Amino acid sequence: MKNIKLNPFIRDFDAIRDEKLDVIIGKQWVEVKESDWKRLAEAQTKQGDSLLPTFIAEGDGMGEVKSIVSSEAINKDEEWFGADEVVEEE
């Protein structure tokens, strides 16, 4: 059995209902089976430019944060900013 709860870094909602377990997972620890935790551990929530684990387990830390901003988008922006025209004064 695992104690899990909603990741405290998620600001969009206070609790999530898992329909398969028919339980509401919020800020308080909820006990679930290991097999259910494996399924719930894969859930992610978009928070700004990052994907956060939706749920955390007691003693397992906060999980892995993934960036959803691609490096191609950053490079295109840098090229655009680098194309400034030089205006000469008369």
Mean pLDDT, 10 residues at a time, over the chain (90 residues)?
93 91 94 94 90 91 78 54 60
Report the pLDDT value the prediction gives residue 27, as an integer from 0 to 100. Answer: 93
CA dihedral 77, 82, 88, 89 (to 10 degrees): 50
What is d(CA 18, CA 53) in angstroms, rounded to the nearest whole number?
15
Report the pLDDT value the prediction gives residue 40, as an integer from 0 to 100. Answer: 94
Query: What sign does the CA torsion over 41, 42, 46, 52 have?
Result: positive
Report the pLDDT value the prediction gives residue 63, as an integer from 0 to 100. Answer: 78
CA nearest neighbour of 55 among 69, 38, 73, 80: 38
